[in-house]
Every structure is written in structure tokens, then in C-alpha cells.
Structure 1
Amino acid sequence: MTRTTAPAPPAATRRGLLVVGTAIVLTGFNLRTSVNSVGPVLEEVELGLGISSGLAGLITSMPVLCFAVIGFAGPPLAARYRDGHVLAAALLVMTAGLVGRVATTSVWLFLLGTVATMAGGALGNVLLPGLVKKWFPHRTGLLVGAYGTAMAVGGAVAGVSTAPIAAATGADGWRWGLGIWAVFALLAALPWLLVPRHPRATQGGHTAVRLRALASSRLTLAMAAFFGLQAMQAYVIIGWTAQYLRDQGMSAAAAGVLVGVNALIAIPLNAVVPMVTVRAHLQRPMLAGFMACYLAGWTGLLLAPLTLSWLWVTLLGLGMGTFAMALTLFGLRGRTPESVAALSTVAQGLGYAVAGIGPLLVGLLRGLTGGYTGMFVLVYAGVALLFVTGWVTCRERYVDDEVPGLTGAAGPQPAAEVGVAGTEPPVTVLPPRR
């Protein structure tokens, strides 16, 4: 596959690069704290707000729905304002949301606060890959690995420590368990205010890649389904396995630790899976391995939830390697950086909208039946569909061949800042046409 790389920027000061690198890593730490902290205290949230399982399912679905919607605001905001200012504002809004949602007894204000909380995560996911490409063009792997590791650590710490914090702070301790992450969001916002203007920044306008044409691409729809189904598995695991284990008799702290295991497993997976995925002949065998892990993990939780619980959760964590696989496949299914970015943006946006249905359905079905049969039916069906759509996306083809003139112009495009690594839609900014 032919790769186009952005030219290296003029030399920036070491101090400026240090500030940017610190800001990127601190932001990465906060990308999953507000998501992973809810599951371990979901029961306390239900009781504290006096809500049904259906509304609890909505709470667990809110993050992924916000990622699907808010993420698309990143490129327009970055085109109009400085990236650092956009992320500083997003993290400050996140701080306010984290504090606001635990200071209310209204479920609707809690949900509104959750939307604000997701601003930092959604925009951070969108903008960080492009910022790494812009400031560290020759150290992209190092910086993406650094903030990816920070993201995994933040998610794991939040999953493991939220329940103990809630237990240690007495009545309504869940509010402290969820609200304490506002401190870290605030700390992450501060370095962005010190980030200097990039040496190549200009006052010119920007033209974004056209995305509507991808609606007719079968590859785009297949990849959206694959990405959405793997994300649904992940958010059901993050949002509901802790509560499921607690309902089977496990302590809140132990259940939270097991959920944190998933985030820890993501660290080596995110490093190894992309290197295997680029080898076409290994894609389908690896996909089958992930499906076997999902099936074994879910079956273990269904039949023996309190026996070898760590093994079942570990297997589910290995199955979640489909996330890194999906991100890598985006880069393999486009001929140019622009087509890769367009495919990734549309497929991930649609995929997260699909994924948000999963945790919501689990909550509704639990409320209707009083149990988790509906959850297991949903995840088993999801694994089957994930295997089918993954098998399709592993066939070597290119979105460019299905959508001619994807970028809206014939011939080569000017050099672009393209970020494809990360967790949500990437940023693509093209220089103005002349």
C-alpha cells in the first residue's frame, strides 16, 4: 500500500514539545476514566438516583452515543480554533460535567452532566492523533503508544479504585467515586493553555474530506458493522459485567478489579495486534481466535461466574483485541491517507451509534426479566455477527475502488495532516485549494 506522509514541521523548541507531549499523555489518561468508573458502582447510582434498570442502561450507553455524535465536531472546531484551546475547553467542560452529575439527585441532570463529561473524551479521541502527527511527525508511534498506554492505565485505575473509594467515603460514596476524576481532568486541561502556536500554523482556511459519498460503499458499511459490533461487546463488558458479578454474589471491589483487568490487557494487545493484522494471511485466523475467546469468556460467566472469574474476564479482554484489529484494517482498506481517514470517520461514527444500543438493551431486558438472559442472548448473537462482518472486512479491497474521487478532486491531493491511530474518528485537514 502506498503511504503518503506529512512533511516534517520546522523545529520547535524542546520546551514546547515537552509541554505538548505532557498535555497529550495527561489527556490520554482521562479518555476512559469517566466511562470505566460507572460500572463498578452502577447499583449505587441506581439506588442514589432512584432509577430503573432501563435508565441505568441508558447511563451505560451515553458514553458511546456521545462518542458517535460529539466526535464529529472535532475537525470543524480544530479548523477554526487552536487545537490546544479546543482541548483545554473540552477538558474544562469534562471537569464541570464530572462534578455536576454527582452533585444532583435528578437523573436527567445526571445524564446532562454525562454528556458534558464525554466532551473531553470524544474530542480528545478525535484530535489527539492529528496533534501527534503535527508535533511529532517522526515519533508518531512513540507518542501514540504513550497516550494509548496512559488511556489504558487511566481506565484500569478508574475501574479498580472507584468501588473502594465509594466504600471508604460512606453514604452516597458513589458520588465521590465518580467525582474524584474531575481533579485529573482539570490537571490535564492546564498544559493545553501553555501549548504554543504550531510553527506551520497559518490563517488559511481548511477543506475537509467529503464523507457523504461513502454511504454507497459496501466496504464502509461492513466496516461500520464490524467496528460497531466489537464496540458493543466492549461497552457491555465495561458497563455490565461488574454488576452481573455483584448480582451473583461477588463484592463490589472484587468486581471492579476484574473489570480493570480488561483495560490492563489492552496495553499489550494494542501493541501486538496491529503488527499481526498487517499480514493479510493472518487476519482471518486471528479473527477466529478472538471469537473463540469471546465465546469461552461469555460461556464461563454464564455457567460458572464465581469460579475462575479472572479467567473468563481475561478471555473477554483478549477478545476485545478486535478493537485494535479494526483500527488497523482502516489503514489497510484505503489507498491514500485521505480515503483511509474518510473511511475511518464514517465507519466509526456509524459504528458507535450501533454500539450504544447494546448496553441500553441489556438494561431494558434486565428490568423486564429480572435477570441477565437477555444480555447473554445479545452478546452471543453479537459474536456471530462480528465474525461474519469481520470475515468480510478481512478480504483485501479498497474503499477508493468503490467510491471514485473520494476526496472530491482528481489527481493527487496536497500534503495532509492525517491521524488514523486512536479510538474514534481521525482528523483530516487539507490545505486550501489554489
Structure 2
Amino acid sequence: MAATISKTGKSGPKHSKYAFLIVLSGIIFTGVPGAMIYSCAGIFFTPVSEYFHTSKAAVAGYFSALNITMMIALPIAGKLMSRFDLRKVLTCCALLTGLGCLSISFMSAVWQFYIAGVVMGIGLPALLYLAVPAMINAWFKVKVGFLTGLCMAFTGIGGVIFNQLGTILIRTGQDGWRKGYLVFGIIILVVTLPFTIFIVRSDPAEKGLAPYGADQMVEIGEPEPEVRGVTASKAMRTPAFLALAGFCGIITMNQTVYQFLPSYAYSFKATAPQIATLTGLIASCCMAGQAIGKVFLGAANDKSIIGGMGMGIGCGLLGVVLMAVFPTAAPVLLLGSFAFGFAYAFPSVQTPLLVRAVFGSKDYTNIYSRVQMVGVLASAFAALFWGTIVDMHNGYTIMFILSAVCMVLTFILGAWSLGQRTKLQSLME
């Protein structure tokens, strides 16, 4: 390693500062392109459908095209990130995402949105799903869970900020949605590209540095751990991989329950009109829970992965119980939504940390990208599944019961996959 670490465990200022520029890069990737494209899509569906005199489903279809493309692109992005300079890969991804978003402002027909969805679906998965865990794992030996959660929290924080900005732009006129996509695309390019070009590095050694926290290991007499792990080709043939893929798919399905919380509150308009007015507030409480939850879940995982899983699933179960049993008690309903936000945060924090814990770091990006494929596939049809459920008699009750089942299942799958680590030692290189 090019950097020299003293026996006192102290390193130069450049060592400590640059690693946190990597953290800032992760925050930018999730909080700008990630939040703008993924967390703000819904604000455009109604104005665009009204402008083109078509259904919201036709407009929202481009978002499904984006998700399907992301599913296909994830393993390809994972391979590219493990083989080529991370700066070049993420710069290309930022260009595709920003230009795809910007191009929508000039489109004259809804079918053209689908082309933009495919373009953004190629660029977005590396920025939204893969960059943060890959960079944090490479640059940090301590607080990996906390920093991963902190970066991922900005999908929610960015969503709160940019949903407001986008709404203001949309309200400027009948075609205000064009201005919204234009400004979003420009912001993505102007804010993200400086980080992908000038800051991002695949490995601290490229800057002549040691990973942050390696000096602490020297201070307490521990050698820096060897980078070991199972290759993607071997991992995909193990039961643990199937368990983690199921874990990711099921918990992502459960995450989509959030989309139906406002309509759940509105369903009480006849019996409890005061609850029906809380549609926006119940969504905001859940978003606050997921932003805070990502940070707390990350910190909990640094101490115990099982403990982190227990926190996320426990809060999620508490949330659905409170919302299902006390729907007309506004404070309890909102508390339940906030608690469910921890379950909403669960997939983006827990999945990458579980993959690393089970299969090691050697081929981490390739393995994680394949596991995440299942989650993206699940998100592509989850809304349709839950929409069908809530349209049934007592549909919301069934939704909450199934949500609880999903969370219990994911805890079992995650705990079982962790238990396979000893058996996987023989496959590690």
C-alpha cells in the first residue's frame, strides 16, 4: 500500500479528508440523480397526461420501462465497475441519466418518454444501487454500515427537496412539466459530473492512501484484513445466493406498500374525515422514517447485522400493527407510518451489507448487482400486486397482513443466509 501509517495510528490530513469526499460523492449520487429520477417521478404523471390528453397509466408506463431496463443493466454495470476505471463508468452513467431526463422536456409524444426511460434505466442503476456500497467498502474499514445508510438516506432527503422544486416548476404553466424535466436534467449533469470526473476513485491506492480506519487496526495491533470472497460464478450456484435474492425481492415488494398509505388514509373519508385529510402527512412521516431509519440501520449493522435486521423488521411490524389496529387515532397512525419507514429503508441498507457479510468483498459488486436485479424486477410489478389487493373486500387489512408476512419471511431468509457463511469459507479466494 502506497500510504504509510504510523504506529500511533495517526495518518496525514489528506488521508482523512479524501475518504469523506468519497462519502460526499455517494450522497450526491443518491440525493441528486437517484432522488430526481426515482423519488420524484410521480409528480409529473398527472400534468403530462393532461397535456397529452392520455391516461396516467400510459405516462407511468415509461417508469416501468426504466425499471425493466435497470434490471437488465444491473449485472452489466456491476461487471463494468469491477473491470474498468470507476470514474469513466460513473461519468458515462451520469451523462446517460442527465441527458435522458433533459431530453424529455423536448418530447412531443408519450411514446418518446419510453425511449428516455430506457436511456435513464441504463445509466441510473450504477449511481443509485452500486456506487455507494462499492465505494464505501473500498475506502473504509470502519463504520461501513453507518456511512452506507447515511448515503442511501439522501434518496429520501433529496426526494423531499426536489419534489417541492419540481412542483413549483410544473405550476409555472400548462407545459411547466417541460421546465421541470429540463431543470432536473441540468442539475443532474452540473452537480454529478464534477464528482464522477474529479473525485471518485476505485481504490484508495490510486491516491496513494490507505482505507480510512486501517490506521485504527494498526493502533490496536490488528493486521489489515485480506480481501477475500466468493466469485460471482460460484456464489450464484449456492443456496445462500438464492436466499438473498428472495430476501431482496420480497422486501422490495413490501417497500411498495408505502405508495398505498395515502389512499389508506383517504379510505376513511366517510367514517373519519379528519383522517382522510392526512394523506400528505402520512406519506411525509413514512419518508422521514426511511431517511432516519437508513442512518440508524447502518449504525446498528456496524455492531450486529442480525441486530440491524431485527431493528428494521421490528419497526416495520410495529408500524403495520399500529396503522391496521388504530387507523382513526391520528397520532398513532402517523407514528405507525414513521415506524414503517424503517422497513422502507431496509432494502437499500440491509441488502448490500448482507451480500458483503455472506460472500465477502472480492467479487462483491458483481454478486450484489445480480441480487439487486430481483429487487428491481419486484418493484416493476409490486404496485400492480398491491393495487389488486387493496381493491378487494377488506383489502387494506389483507395488505397489512401480507406486509407482515413479507417482513417475517425476509428476516428468516436473511438470518439463514448469514448462517451459511461458515460453509462458504471453502469457496473463498
Provide the rounded CA distance (Å) in 1 between the counterparts of 2:389 and 2:182: 29
Residue number in structure 1 paired with 2:320: 294
RCO higher in structure (CA 8 A, sep ≥6)? 1
- The answer to whether 1:271 aligns with 2:295 is yes
Instruction: Supply the AA of the counterpart residue of 1:82.
Output: D
Q: Is the 8 A contact 2:257 2:403 kept in 1?
A: no
CA contact (8 A) 2:78 2:126 kept: no
Cα shift at 1:329 = 3.5
- Please tell me whether residue 75 in structure 1 is matched to residue 78 in structure 2: yes
Identity of aligned residues (%): 14
Listed one character per residue, the Cα deviations across residues 202-223 of structure 1 (whole Å, up to 9, x for unaligned) are 9xxxxx9643444443332232
Does residue 347 of structure 1 match 2:347?
no
Tell me the equivalent position of 1:221: 242
The one-letter code matched in structure 1 to 2:93 is: A
Name the CA distance, whole Å, in 1 between partners of 2:90 and 2:286: 27
What does 1:55-74 correspond to in 2, within 5 Å? 55=58, 58-74=61-77
What does residue range 304-323 of structure 1 map to in structure 2 within 5 Å? 310-311=334-335, 313-323=337-347
User: Does the 8 Å contact 2:258/2:344 carry over to 1?
Assistant: no
Matches of 1:53 and 1:373 in 2, distance apart? 26
Which residue of the partner structure matches residue 432 of structure 1?
none
Across the two proteins, how many residue pairs are aligned to each other?
388
How far the C-alpha of 1:9 sits from its partner, in A, is 5.5
Q: CA 1:160 to 1:138, structure 2 compared with 1: closer, same or farther past 3 Å?
A: same
C-alpha distance in 2, partners of 1:274/1:8? Answer: 30
Is the aligned partner of 1:111 residue 2:114? yes
Query: Alpha carbons of 1:276 and 1:79: their partners in 2 closer, same or farther (altered >3 Å)?
Result: closer
Structure 2 unaligned residues grouped into runs of 5+: 5-11, 208-228
Residues 1:127 and 2:131 aligned together? yes
Cα distance change, pair 49–213 in 1 and its aligned pair in 2 (3 A):
farther
Matched, 1:189 2:193: yes
Change (3 A) 1:43 1:319: same
Aligned 1:131-170 pairs, distance under 5 A: 131-135=135-139, 144=148, 147-166=151-170, 168-170=171-173
Q: TM-score normalized by structure 2?
A: 0.71
Superposed CA offset, 1:320-379 (max 9, x none): 243334444334434x3347666544332223222322024456889xx7x998787556
The 2-side partners of 1:153 and 1:200 are apart by: 32
Determine if contact 1:400/1:406 at 8 Å carries over to the other structure. no
How far residue 146 of structure 1 moved from its aligned partner, in angstroms, is 5.4
1:429 maps to which residue? none
* Cα distance in 1, alignment partners of residues 267 and 40 from structure 2: 18
CA distance in 2, matches of 1:41, 1:355: 19
Q: Deviations over 1:371-407 (max 9, x none)?
A: 9987875564343233223224224744455667545
Cα 1:87–1:211 change in 2 (3 A) is: same
1:23/1:286 CA distance change after superposition, 3 Å: closer
Instruction: Confirm whether residue 32 of structure 1 aligns to residue 57 of structure 2.
Output: no
- Pairs within 5 Å for 1:256-405: 259-277=283-301, 278=304, 280=306, 283-284=309-310, 287-297=313-323, 310-311=334-335, 313-323=337-347, 324-334=349-359, 336-338=360-362, 344-361=368-385, 377=398, 380-395=401-416, 397-400=418-421
| Counterpart amino acid of residue 96 in structure 1 | L
Relative distance call for 1:312 and 1:393 in structure 2 (3 A) is closer
The C-alpha deviation readout for 1:182-238, integer Å capped at 9, x for no partner, is: 232112113433348777459xxxxx9643444443332232222222222324525
- The 2-side partners of 1:392 and 1:65 are apart by 25
Note if contact 1:60-1:360 (Cα within 8 Å) is conserved in structure 2. no
TM-score (norm 1): 0.70
| Contact kept? 2:59, 2:110, Cα under 8 Å | no
Q: State the alpha-carbon separation in 2 of the partners of residues 245 and 180 from structure 1.
A: 33
Amino acid at match of 1:29: G
Q: Distance in 2 between matches of 1:145 and 1:287?
A: 16
**Structure 1 runs not aligned, ≥5 long:** 1-6, 203-207, 408-412, 414-434
Q: CA RMSD in A?
A: 4.4
Report the alpha carbon displacement of residue 159 of structure 1 after superposing the two structures with TM.
3.5
Asked if structure 1 preserves the Cα contact closer than 8 Å seen for 2:286 and 2:339, the reply is no
Q: 2-side partners of 1:81 and 1:333: how far apart? A: 25
> 1:254, 1:163 → 2: CA distance?
19
Of residues 219, 227, 231 in structure 1, which corresponds to 2:252?
Answer: 231
**What is the rounded CA distance, in whole Å, between the counterparts of 1:46 and 1:12 in structure 2?**
53
Distance 2:122 2:364 in 1: 25
Between 108-117 and 37-46, the greater mean CA deviation after superposition? 37-46
Q: What does residue range 47-62 of structure 1 map to in structure 2 within 5 Å?
A: 47-52=50-55, 54-55=57-58, 58-62=61-65
